[in-house]
């Protein structure tokens, strides 16, 4: 008898240990996931909030409203905007701006390419990036000053203090280091290693006509390269500032300038321009466009991650409830006995809730250990260090603890109520109470868990299918073995560029070379507008200057007409853009949207911002920004040897190292001392997809964990059920059921919840994924296959989880099972 | 109907080896009603389990319905059990989650015997006087009622052989007598019934009594 009790005790202990392990492990995984997501989200939400006065600082972005077209967010502002705002609008306490630049910097006879920013005079007064040396108010007192980051200082000077040292910019401009910026953390929109004070360019010496000078002066108002920041005086609202900006533009853009862009702006300037005044702290997550800044993130991603964290916690919490409810019925005797000796229901509820919270706390300890283990890899994956400093990040620590307690309470409340509701008589009943109602609830909980897992699973499958699809789309140009060089600030004249191109193309390791103003995957737009003569419909288009061989080098197909030629005077532009009366080549979508077929487009006249041009040929669409981009590309190609920034070099696949050596040597001969800037186009194209791919990987990692936690719960439940049904199974076997029938019986019990879960998950997933896909210009159809794949996987995973128990029970000898009843 | 020859059954646990049955030989013909008696632990249940193909002898031969089954495969045993045998237990062994009717149905579903299933269940329940409780769960019934359900389950498939292990052990006299009535009735209708009992009165209802002691047959009495 004692031996029997002992065995029962041991068996119960092991049984409870399994359940406790499952509840704790599931919740620990869930919490670890939520904490990792939380740390990421916290960082994304904290962008620039740490800068002093950040709540009073705003970024001013300009939006263009061409008639009959969607508004275009220019993602920038004119350089003089900030100063004019401060001078003319009330309530601007301070203003500054920056523009991105790159330059070569020479130190100790070494030249480096650097990304830098030219900033307004007051930059460090408005944007209080911490300076380790130098006075923010004085660093730019002298126009030849420069401020560098700690990392840059170390790179140039080692441990020697750089203050007062000279840096030679672009080989001709000496600047003296006056300040050092503390290395910037991840959570700021500002980047750049070098800060120089902005100086307006000297008036163009070549232009002596009054009209041209006038144009130069006011045309700075129709270019938008700057990021402008203002500090508003207390009590001044964003909207009041926004409202005054159109008038400001109207005052500054001269009629001459307006006339030259009349083809686009054929409406009052105040109807054409509007401003978005965005709080500094929101820029990272809301601005859709950032020239040269750290790539922004979207609120959708952040909210999506929060939702996933909550769903995972929900799954883990449901495990908790589920297993505790299942176990409750094993504890009916304990409850009965406690009640018989006088415990009140309230006391029991508190007891069970305390147990639950305690278990959750134990899970938290494991979760924190897991987080510590994973943080380095997580930081690696995200591309920046992530830390969880419990003390300094005490707010987050509090949220984590509070969240754990809430999960413990919510997960424990139902089982506590069920348990405490048992009557004292339960203690003396030979078998435990019949848990039909709670069995239905447990099934419902499993359904919810699997619905979440399946839904997330479908999302992952669709996301990867979309990424794969986007990567397979014919971009319309060939980027294999394409090596790119930047000609920016190389000092090469157009004829030297031409000669460099010819020299390179003579190498046997190089199959083609072309020049262009911009390369595929390059940042930045050359936006213009186009309108077919006699057709009021206006289009926004990208313009790219290319050398005549460009299309051939890139394998772009001509559909109608001819390519541009170096020999025809009307194909060749001078200056910086497109000249009046010249020929261009357009892509298919431009031809179509202008109202032509490719064939009928040839020979047609098109009105563009500064010129009327003629279409000489039509080429196939080329997706220079990858197939991720939302907008259909519309591109107008023109040939202007003066407007060239890139060389595209197609090298032979088998001899890349040789080709690179040829390129580097040739560059050295031509570019007297300017360091080479060279990259593989394929790498840049990959980067276009990197963000989406990273998000996909992140999502799938979390989905795997969600599924894992669901399965842990299912495993525990299956163990419980198998045990509870031992007697039933023995009886069925005695009356002739064979092992196969028993296994099927047990699997069926868990098949139905999974099938129900599919019923819930499919429509919800369909709804969200349909909307998600609408963000892609080139997208897959939501095929049922994705849904079946996720649903079937869930079923197979559920079966695999349950089958261990099923086999075990099915093989048991029935008499053995009934012996100890 | 069945024939045992030198059947032995040993139970081996890590330390001790128990000889539960030693050299058991007897024959039971079709339609016989046999009682098995003996003190607790003498091997009655073990014998019944072997007869019911729930367990296999360590040695010896067992012929059931003309077939040697002592060394038959699990699959084969299940098939024979399904076709030939019904069971009644001391502790009823009903499935808590199923209704009374569903419990009875368990004896039919694995026989793939679909004909008139509903009707046969109703008849079986009628026979043991429990038809009005068909929708109840076992927990809602008294011990005597539960055992009637168990009898109905054993009878519903018209088995050739019914094995009852102390079917009246947990019942009061009135209910015990009723259960005996059903078993006797079944035997009269031509079913072979083998019943373990401690009650001399109930054993007297059988045509033959086999007495066991320490795994040996010590006597056989025939009426
Ligand atoms: N599965 C088993 N493992 C070990 N010993 C067993 C097992 N089943 C029965 N025994 C032993 O075999 C003997 C006969 O048991 P049993 O047939 O149940 O007796 P009875 O039904 O006559 O009371 C007992 O000594 C019992 O302890
Ligand atoms: Mg016994």
Taking the model in full, what pTM does it have?
A: 0.80
Q: How many CB atoms lie within 10 A of CB A819?
A: 11
User: DSSP label at A572?
Assistant: B
> What are the tens digits of pLDDT across the range A387-411?
999 999 999 999 999 999 999 999 8
B39 Cα: distance to centroid of ligand 2 (angstroms): 9
User: DSSP label at A546?
Assistant: B
Contacts of A211 by beta carbon, 8 Å cutoff, 6+ apart: A256
User: DSSP label at B53?
Assistant: T
Q: Which residues of A touch B (CB under 8 A)?
A: 431, 434, 436, 727-728, 730-739, 741, 813-815, 818, 821
CA-to-CA distance for A665 and A580, rounded, in angstroms? 39
For ligand 1, atom 3, name the residue with the nearest CA: B11
The three-class DSSP label of residue B209 is strand
Max avg pLDDT among A14-23, A350-359, B159-168? B159-168
The band of A515, judged by pLDDT with boundaries at 50, 70 and 90, is: very high
The band of A2, judged by pLDDT with boundaries at 50, 70 and 90, is: very low
Token pair 């791919």: residue: A693
> What are the tens digits of pLDDT across the range A549-594?
999 999 999 999 999 998 999 999 987 788 889 999 999 999 999 9
- Overall size of chain A counted in residues: 821
> What are the tens digits of pLDDT across the range A176-204?
999 999 999 999 988 888 999 998 876 55
A441 Cα: distance to centroid of ligand 2 (angstroms): 39
* A679 token code pair: 């990259």
What ipTM was predicted for this assembly? 0.93
Ranges of chain B with pLDDT below 50: none
Selected residues 117-176 of chain B with any CB under 8 Å from a CB in chain A: 137, 139, 153
pLDDT of residue A437: 64
For ligand 1, atom 19, name the residue with the nearest CA: B41
Sign of CA dihedral B110, B111, B117, B123: negative
B96 Cα: distance to centroid of ligand 1 (angstroms): 26
Tell which atom from ligand 1 comes closest to the C-alpha of B13: 4
**Cβ–Cβ < 8 Å for A817, A730:** yes
Ligand nearest to the CA of B91: 2
Residues A738, B110: C-beta atoms closer than 8 Å: yes
Residues A732, B97: C-beta atoms closer than 8 Å: no
Residue A189, CA distances (Å) to A50, A185, B63 in order:
12, 10, 88
pLDDT of residue A321: 85
B191 Cα: distance to centroid of ligand 1 (angstroms): 27
Residues B82, A735: C-beta atoms closer than 8 Å: yes
Helices (H) and strands (E) in chain A, counts: 24, 22
Alpha helices in A529-577 (DSSP H): 550-554
Nearest CB to A738 within list B49, B75, B96: B75
Quick one: which of A396, A380, A398 has its CA closest to A388? A396
Q: Is the pLDDT assigned to residue A135 strictly greater than 80? A: yes
Percent of chain A having pLDDT more than 70?
Answer: 91
The band of A10, judged by pLDDT with boundaries at 50, 70 and 90, is: very low
Q: How many CB atoms lie within 10 A of CB B198?
A: 14
Residue B16, Cβ density class (10 Å: 0-12 exposed, 13-18 middle, ≥19 buried): exposed
Q: How many CB atoms lie within 10 A of CB A389?
A: 9
A821 Cα: distance to centroid of ligand 2 (angstroms): 13
Nearest chain B residue to A728 by CA: give it: B95
Ligand nearest to the CA of B15: 1
Tell which atom from ligand 1 comes closest to the C-alpha of B44: 22
Sign of CA dihedral A557, A562, A567, A568: negative
The band of A488, judged by pLDDT with boundaries at 50, 70 and 90, is: confident
To test the contact with chain A by mutation, choose from B72, B76, B81 the residue with the greatest count of A C-beta atoms within 10 A, namely B81
> Between the CA atoms of A650, A656, A660 and A661, what dihedral angle is there, to the nearest 10 degrees?
-130
The band of A68, judged by pLDDT with boundaries at 50, 70 and 90, is: confident
CA-to-CA distance for A276 and A245, rounded, in angstroms? 10
> Between the CA atoms of A177, A182, A187 and A188, what dihedral angle is there, to the nearest 10 degrees?
-30
A814 Cα: distance to centroid of ligand 1 (angstroms): 15
Question: How close is the nearest chain B Cα to the Cα of A728, in Å?
Answer: 5
Q: Is the pLDDT assigned to residue A250 strictly greater than 60? A: yes
Nearest CB to B78 within list A738, A815, A818: A738
Q: Is the pLDDT assigned to residue A413 strictly greater than 80? A: yes
Question: How close is the nearest chain B Cα to the Cα of A337, in Å?
Answer: 21
Quick one: which of A11, A47, A70 has its CA closest to A540? A70
**Cα-Cα end-to-end distance for chain B:** 19
* B46 token code pair: 């073990």
CA-to-CA distance for A220 and A583, rounded, in angstroms? 27
Quick one: which of B57, B73, B66, B72 has its CA closest to B25? B57
The three-class DSSP label of residue A800 is helix
* A167 token code pair: 């840096």
Residues A728, B97: C-beta atoms closer than 8 Å: yes
For ligand 1, atom 12, name the residue with the nearest CA: B20
For ligand 1, atom 14, name the residue with the nearest CA: B43
Residue B147, CA distances (Å) to A229, A820, B205 in order:
88, 19, 19
pLDDT of residue A821: 45
Residues framing ligand 1 (Cβ under 6 A) = B 11, 13, 18, 20, 38, 40-46
**Cβ–Cβ < 8 Å for A548, A563:** yes
Chain B hits for A434, Cβ within 8 Å: 96-97, 137, 139
The Cβ-side half-sphere exposure at A34, using a 13 Å CA radius, reads: 28
**Cβ–Cβ < 8 Å for A481, A634:** no
The angle that helices A394-420 and A345-382 make with each other, rounded to 10 degrees, is 140
**What is the residue-averaged pLDDT of chain A?**
86
Quick one: which of A427, A465, A525 has its CA closest to A700? A465
Residues B97, A733: C-beta atoms closer than 8 Å: no
Nearest CB to B54 within list A734, A738, A741: A734
For ligand 1, atom 4, name the residue with the nearest CA: B11
Residues A738, B95: C-beta atoms closer than 8 Å: no
Ligand nearest to the CA of B10: 1
Question: How close is the nearest chain B Cα to the Cα of A431, in Å?
Answer: 9
Rg (CA), chain A: 34
Residues A735, B106: C-beta atoms closer than 8 Å: yes
Nearest chain B residue to A739 by CA: give it: B75
CA-to-CA distance for A241 and A269, rounded, in angstroms? 17
């Amino acid at each position: 008898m004692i031996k029997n009790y002992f065995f029962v005790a041991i068996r119960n202990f092991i049984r409870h240990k399994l359940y406790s392990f499952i509840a704790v492990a599931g919740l620990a995984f869930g919490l670890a996931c939520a904490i990792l997501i939380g740390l990421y989200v916290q960082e994304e939400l904290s962008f620039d909030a740490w800068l002093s006065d950040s709540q009073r600082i705003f970024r001013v972005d300009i939006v263009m409203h061409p008639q009959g077209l969607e508004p275009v967010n220019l993602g920038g502002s004119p350089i003089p905007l900030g100063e004019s705002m401060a001078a003319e609008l009330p309530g601007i306490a301070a203003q500054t701006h920056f523009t991105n630049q790159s330059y070569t910097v020479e130190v100790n006879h070494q030249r480096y390419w650097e990304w830098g920013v030219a900033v307004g005079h007051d930059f460090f007064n408005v944007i209080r990036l911490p300076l380790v040396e130098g006075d923010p108010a004085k660093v730019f007192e002298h126009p030849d000053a420069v401020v560098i980051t700690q990392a840059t200082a170390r790179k140039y000077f080692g441990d020697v203090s750089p203050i007062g040292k000279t840096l030679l910019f672009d080989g001709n401009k000496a600047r003296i280091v006056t300040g050092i910026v503390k290395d910037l953390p991840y959570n700021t929109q500002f980047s750049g290693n070098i800060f120089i004070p902005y100086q307006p360019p000297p008036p163009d010496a070549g232009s002596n006509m009054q009209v041209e000078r006038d144009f130069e002066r006011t045309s700075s108002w129709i270019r938008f390269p700057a990021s402008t920041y203002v500090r508003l005086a207390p009590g001044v609202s964003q909207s009041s500032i926004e409202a005054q900006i159109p008038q400001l533009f109207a005052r500054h853009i001269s009629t001459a300038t307006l006339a030259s862009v009349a083809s686009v702006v054929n409406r009052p300037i105040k109807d054409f321009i509007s401003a978005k005044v965005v709080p500094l702290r929101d820029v990272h997550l809301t601005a859709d466009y950032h020239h040269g800044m750290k790539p922004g993130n979207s609120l959708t991603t952040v909210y999506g991650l929060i939702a996933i964290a909550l769903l995972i916690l929900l799954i883990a919490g449901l495990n908790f409830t589920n297993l505790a409810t299942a176990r409750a019925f094993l504890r009916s005797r304990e409850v009965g006995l406690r009640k018989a000796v006088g415990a009140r229901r309230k006391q029991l509820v508190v007891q069970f809730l305390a147990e639950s919270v305690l278990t959750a706390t134990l899970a938290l300890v494991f979760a924190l250990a897991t987080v510590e283990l994973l943080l380095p890899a997580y930081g690696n994956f995200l591309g920046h260090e992530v830390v969880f400093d419990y003390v300094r990040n005490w707010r987050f620590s509090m949220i984590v603890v509070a969240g754990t307690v809430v999960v413990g309470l919510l997960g424990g409340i139902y089982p506590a109520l069920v348990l405490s509701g048992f009557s004292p008589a339960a203690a003396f009943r030979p078998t435990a109470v019949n848990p039909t109602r709670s069995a239905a609830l447990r099934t419902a909980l499993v359904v919810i868990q699997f619905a979440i897992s399946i839904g997330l699973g479908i999302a992952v499958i669709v996301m990867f299918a979309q990424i794969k699809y986007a990567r397979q789309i014919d971009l319309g140009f060939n980027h294999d073995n394409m090596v790119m060089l930047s000609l920016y600030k190389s000092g090469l004249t157009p004829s030297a560029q031409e000669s460099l191109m010819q020299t390179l193309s003579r190498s046997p390791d190089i199959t083609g070379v072309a020049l262009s103003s911009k390369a595929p995957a390059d940042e930045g737009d050359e936006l213009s507008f186009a309108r077919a003569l006699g057709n009021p419909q206006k289009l926004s288009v990208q313009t790219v200057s290319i050398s005549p061989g460009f299309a051939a080098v890139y394998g772009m197909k001509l559909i109608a007409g001819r390519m541009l030629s170096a020999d025809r005077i009307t194909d060749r532009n001078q200056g910086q853009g497109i000249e009046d009366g010249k020929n261009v080549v357009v892509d298919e979508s431009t031809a179509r949207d202008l109202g032509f077929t490719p064939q009928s487009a040839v020979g047609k006249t098109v009105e563009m911002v500064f010129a009327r041009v003629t279409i000489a040929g039509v080429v196939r669409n080329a997706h220079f920004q990858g197939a991720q981009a939302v907008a259909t590309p519309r591109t107008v190609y023109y040939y202007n040897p003066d407007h060239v920034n890139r060389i595209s070099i197609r090298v032979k696949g088998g001899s890349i190292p040789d080709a690179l050596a040829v390129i580097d040597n040739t560059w050295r001969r031509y570019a007297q001392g300017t360091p080479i800037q060279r990259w593989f186009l394929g790498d840049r194209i990959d980067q276009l997809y990197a963000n989406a791919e990273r998000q996909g990987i992140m999502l799938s990692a979390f989905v795997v964990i969600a599924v894992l936690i669901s399965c842990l719960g299912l495993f525990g439940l299956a163990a419980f059920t198998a045990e509870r049904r031992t007697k039933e199974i023995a009886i069925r076997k005695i009356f002739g059921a064979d092992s196969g029938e028993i296994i099927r019986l047990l699997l069926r019990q868990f098949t139905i919840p999974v099938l129900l879960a599919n019923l819930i998950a499919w429509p919800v997933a369909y709804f969200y994924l349909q909307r998600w896909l609408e963000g892609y210009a080139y997208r897959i159809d939501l095929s049922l296959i994705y849904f079946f794949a996720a649903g079937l996987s869930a079923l197979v995973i559920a079966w695999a989880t349950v089958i261990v128990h099923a086999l075990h029970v099915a093989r048991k000898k029935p008499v053995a099972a009934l012996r100890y009843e | 109907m069945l024939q045992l020859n030198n059947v032995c059954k040993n139970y081996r646990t890590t330390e001790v080896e128990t000889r539960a049955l030693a050299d058991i030989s007897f024959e039971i013909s079709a339609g016989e009603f046999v009682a098995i008696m003996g003190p607790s632990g003498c091997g009655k249940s073990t014998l019944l389990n072997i007869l019911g193909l729930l367990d296999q002898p360590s040695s010896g031969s067992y012929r059931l319905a003309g077939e040697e089954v002592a060394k038959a495969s699990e699959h084969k045993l299940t098939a024979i059990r399904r076709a030939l045998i019904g069971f009644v237990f001391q502790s009823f062994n009903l499935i808590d989650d199923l209704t009374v009717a569903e419990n009875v149905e368990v004896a039919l579903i694995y026989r793939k015997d679909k004909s008139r299933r509903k009707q046969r269940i109703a008849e079986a329940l009628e026979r043991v006087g429990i038809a009005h409780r068909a929708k109840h769960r076992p927990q809602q019934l008294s011990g005597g009622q539960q055992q009637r359900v168990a009898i109905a389950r054993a009878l519903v498939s018209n088995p050739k052989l019914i094995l009852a292990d102390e079917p009246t052990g947990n019942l009061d006299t009135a209910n015990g007598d009723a259960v005996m009535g059903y078993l006797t009735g079944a035997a009269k209708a031509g079913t072979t019934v083998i019943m373990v009992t401690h009650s001399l009165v109930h054993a007297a209802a059988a045509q033959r009594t086999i007495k066991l002691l320490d795994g040996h047959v010590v006597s056989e009495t025939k009426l």
